[in-house]
Amino acid sequence: MKAPAKRTGSKKTLNLANLESLGAERLAALMMEITEGQAAIKRRLRLELAGEAGPEDLAGELDKRMASIAEKRTRITWRRYGEFVREFRQLRAAIAGPMAQLNPFVALELMWRLIALADPVMDRVDDSKGEVEAVLQAAVADLGPLAVAAKATPQGLAERVFDAVTADELGLAEGMVGGVLPALDRPAMIWLRDRITQVMNRRARTSQPLRRCVQLIADAMGDIEGYVATWSHSETADPWVGAQIAGRLIQAGRVDEAVAALERSRPKRDVRTLGAVDWDKAWLRALEAQGRGAEAQEVRWARFEERLDATMLRDHLKRLGDFDDVEAEDRALAHARRFPKALFALRFFTEWPAGTEAAALVFERLGELKGDAVEVLEPAARMLEARQPLAAALLLRAMVEDTARWRRTERYKAATRWILEADSLEPQIDDHRGYGTHEDFLKAIAPMRRF
């Protein structure tokens, strides 16, 4: 027996308990009144009624609605965007929920039909918010569970996926293959891998989405050679690629081969190399797997000194004995204070965290902390506001001044908030150390301020 809803507040309050007290007949009459002229609400109620009537009725209602969407060619304006997204979500939820429970086989077919709406829908809508795409991504993720529940034949499913991924233009391919892999057996995986590879080989340029699909299949099969084969010989010299290959080899216990792959892709330390962080992590795993712990420790410290990597320092310290870790941390903080790039140092002190050192850095090297580095300065100000209010205020001022000087209109709202926050810190500041009060700062930026 269903427990009665708990009544809270006034009888006039709009909540579940008060609505239930009206009774089914009264609520039904109200719904008929409310839906007058409200097409979206009517469609939602029809889905609910169809679900109650049975799988055939629900499937028919879903099919009818998707056919209507596919046939339309008119532009979905920004005024109708929200309504359309809600309906699209409802269709996907009805298929993945009630329809899947009633008949998973039919639900799987309907979900394929929903995904097939991607191209016609995207041609009609400005999806800069990404809400329609999010529904499609969720629908793609539903394919695997639906295929398992429907006991879809692996080969038939692989053929359906192949057709979809080779026609995909919206970036759904990777999620589609990754989602259905649990429903495929090994022969179906091999067939799908080979067919996608054939398509890739016929194209003049490498398709990154298709390559990623082949890599997902190789990983699911435990086929390291198959994964490596997706990269050209020259690409295996890239630090990020080398790290990906090595990680799989280490997991398989093939450590010497992993080391060889990493040696081939070793990044140059005198230049900023993409993938160097991933390479370092893989290299450390390989060293530890070979029992070269002391060498790994040297690498961790060197990488910390090189780029103030807080994760590397933590991993280094936790492997040191008592008291040695305290001494090493003091040495690390001193190194960060002297680091050539002040923004890197401030980011490190914020991540560590080390408020005293961060405040000292602000006072000593404020001119190097450019106000456009909001992603560094704002978190640092949050950390400092309780115990180092002047340092926090100086960082807030730097961001406000940069916004005003260069008229960064996209930050005007944030800059207004920073001004209020800096003003709230003023009573906590006993000594302004020659930087002036908050009022002095506002007077200085007044000629530039447009917010």
Q: Region 258-263: what's the mean pLDDT? A: 98
Check residue 2 and give its pLDDT: 52
Residue 1 has pLDDT above 50, yes or no: no
Residue showing tokens 């140059």: 268
Q: Region 430-451: what's the mean pLDDT? A: 95
Q: Which residue has the higher pLDDT, 245 or 42?
A: 245
Check residue 237 and give its pLDDT: 96
Q: Region 275-285: what's the mean pLDDT? A: 96
- Mean predicted lDDT score pLDDT of the chain: 91
CB-based burial of residue 95 (10 Å sphere; 0-12 exposed, 13-18 middle, 19+ buried)?
A: buried
Check residue 199 and give its pLDDT: 95
389 — pLDDT class (breaks 50, 70, 90): very high
Q: Which residue has the higher pLDDT, 63 or 115?
A: 115
Model pTM greater than 0.85?
no
Q: What is the pLDDT of residues 338-365, one digit of tens each?
A: 999 999 999 999 999 999 999 999 999 9
> In 389-400, which positions are buried (b, 16+ CB within 10 angstroms) versus exposed (e)?
bbbbbbbbbbbb
Is-contact 420 385, C-beta < 8 A? no
Q: What is the pLDDT of residues 303-334, one digit of tens each?
A: 999 999 999 999 999 999 888 999 999 999 99
83 — pLDDT class (breaks 50, 70, 90): confident
Rounded CA separation 246/279 (Å): 9
Q: Region 289-302: what's the mean pLDDT? A: 97
Rounded CA separation 33/18 (Å): 19
Check residue 162 and give its pLDDT: 97
Q: What are the percentages of helix, strand and coil residues in the chain, rounded to 5?
A: 75, 0, 25
Check residue 55 and give its pLDDT: 73
Q: Which residue has the higher pLDDT, 36 or 144?
A: 144
Residue 53 has pLDDT above 60, yes or no: no
> Can you read off the two tokens belonging to residue 255?
């450590």
58 — pLDDT class (breaks 50, 70, 90): confident
Q: Which residue has the higher pLDDT, 447 or 45?
A: 447
For residue 142, how far is the Cα from the chain centroid?
Answer: 19
Rounded CA separation 318/136 (Å): 44
Phi and psi, residue 233, nearest 5°: -60, -40
Check residue 303 and give its pLDDT: 95
Q: Which residue has the higher pLDDT, 440 or 24?
A: 440
Q: What is the pLDDT of residues 90-132, one digit of tens each?
A: 899 999 998 999 999 999 999 999 999 999 999 999 999 999 9
Q: What is the pLDDT of residues 149-180, one digit of tens each?
A: 999 999 999 999 999 999 998 899 999 999 99
Residue 386 has pLDDT above 80, yes or no: yes
Q: Which of 68-77, 378-387, 392-401, 407-416 is the least confident region?
A: 68-77
Q: What percent of the chain has pLDDT over 70?
A: 89
Residue 435 has pLDDT above 60, yes or no: yes
Rounded CA separation 447/428 (Å): 27
Q: Running DSSP on this structure, what letter comes out for residue 24? A: H
